[in-house]
Structure 1
């Protein structure tokens, strides 16, 4: 029985949505695009009998990769990396420490890195060099979002879900202070939620 003054589950859930200024990509739009990327990967690797290795960097890309894997009609091995990226303010320096490495050997395998968002691209550049040194048969990137930023590393992404504006976005794996990852859509966080520019650095 709910105590007097205690918020119900629905009331608590709504407060998370109230922090969103605008929905950029609705749940059904995301689902459709992920299905299209999965179909493209299925076509491109149809002749690879052993299938592909799908890699995501924890934690942001985990939701995207899980949904993407279910839309790929090929043998798929899933693996994960966790990294710590160092920088100042809101920008990554690209200096990366690997906190969790792959469990799989990728030498001679066809690898697709599932990325949630390509922003500066510095961390992803480092990771791609690291993975390439392990001599996979091929190495490609599938990013759900690519931000329109002026200072972005040149990364050839074979699969891009959406081009998105340079705004502070959350949802579908993207977070602010480890919140909002569970939103089924991607939206713009209200500016009043984050008070200091320096706190943005820990959000993505």
Structure 2
């Protein structure tokens, strides 16, 4: 069976991804020393990154999941599955595998702010500012990339490729 990666070019290896995750984890550990963190993982793409990041951070932590989606391309955004942890007064970090237009992330950030966390930060493995529609920035960035379509490590093409341990991009 042919895989989507057969039509793509390697972009980041699992070793390079692990190095980026480690660098981010060290910075978060330093910034949150002595504090408990609540990671909020938007489903589905951020699962791999969230799991790897959590394993590399030696601090008290919780994780919860949210599923936010656009009703239609460029349209309204809705919450399919909300978090269940009470984040009031807690240090919250939204974990994104990639920030593209920023529309759903901006919606999620505003929704979480309404729950009065002690702090709210955003971490992303990949940042694609060329596609940004709303002015949103991550507090922790693994790598800033050009406007390219990437697949693997949670990112998909019509639900294919999420399981790849490496990240690929389309051949030009």
CA distance in 2, matches of 1:84, 1:34: 25
Post-superposition offset of 1:165: 1.4
Runs of 4+ in 1 over 3 A off after TM superposition: 14-17
TM-score by length of structure 1 reads: 0.80
Q: Aligned to 2:86, which of 105, 108, 113?
A: 105
Structure 1 residues without counterparts, runs of 5 or longer: 1-11, 192-204
Q: Alpha-carbon deviation of 1:46? A: 0.3
Contact 2:5 2:168 in 1 (8 A): no
1:122 CA drift (Å) = 1.0
Considering only CA atoms, is the larger Rg found in Structure 1 or Structure 2?
1
Q: Where in structure 2 are the equivalents of 1:25-174 lying within 5 Å?
A: 25-48=12-35, 51-88=36-73, 92-93=74-75, 95-149=76-130, 151-174=132-155
> Structure 2: where are the runs of 5+ without partners?
none
Deviation digits for residues 20-78 of structure 1 (CA, Å, limit 9, x no counterpart) = 2x111111000001011111111100032xx1000110000011000000111101101
Q: Does the 8 A contact of 2:94 with 2:123 survive in 1?
A: yes
Kindly report the root-mean-square deviation, in angstroms, between the aligned alpha carbons of the 2 structures.
1.6
Q: Does residue 1:19 correspond to 2:19, yes or no?
A: no
TM-score (norm 2): 0.94
2: CA distance between counterparts of 1:158 and 1:79? 19
The separation in 1 between residues aligned to 2:93 and 2:101, in whole angstroms, is 20
Q: Which has the higher contact order (CA 8 A, sep 6+)?
A: 2
* Residue 188 (str. 1) matches residue 169 (str. 2): yes
Q: Size of the alignment, in residue pairs? A: 172
